[in-house]
Amino acid sequence: MFYLVSTSPRRKKILKSLRIRFRALTPGYEEKNSSKSTPSGLVKKHALAKARSVLEKITAGTVLAADTIVYFRRKIIGKPKSMKEAARILARLQGNWHTVYTGVAIFKIRKGRVGKKVIYCEKTKVHLEKMTRRDILAYFKRVDPLDKAGAYAIQSKRSAIVDSVKGSLSNAVGLPLESFKKYLSMIK
């Protein structure tokens, strides 16, 4: 059995596109963005803690957990807590390059014990188009920013605020497909 430790609809959609049958579990871990952590260290720490939070429920199978943040001007940006915060985040990011980091933890469980495991981080550079305050508010009428790191949805056709991407687009969505497939085959 394959377990996705996430409530992210985007990660669920990615796994479905790979035709992976999975059971989604809600992580029993509260993310805290520490300014003392590096972006890659933070997302790996979160992914690992999310995966560990469900281990007592699983006796056999593969566990996948991930965490995504945006990093801009030496600041870690997670999911906004309000529409006002989302507007502030997009006002800062508009017209600029930023980096999206996703940490991934994959565990192989046998007889209730962790066998093989892989924990890694992938990063992608993203440039958003220039936007006025009015553009940002209009964008929020099309896309809910509250459950997305950086307050935007790169995968949404209604989004159309991303100018350019350097690196894995699926990483910026929340799960780096290319490296995920490679590491998944290594732990089977």
Catalytic positions: 67
- CB contact at 8 A, 126 and 93: no
Tally of CB atoms within 10 A around 27 = 19
Beta bridge partners of 72: 75
Distance (Å, rounded) from C-alpha 112 to C-alpha 114?
A: 7
Count CA atoms closer than 13 A to 56's CA, side-chain side: 4
Q: Which residue has the tokens 């605020």?
A: 161
Helix (H) or strand (E) holding 64: strand 61-72
- CB contact at 8 A, 27 and 65: yes
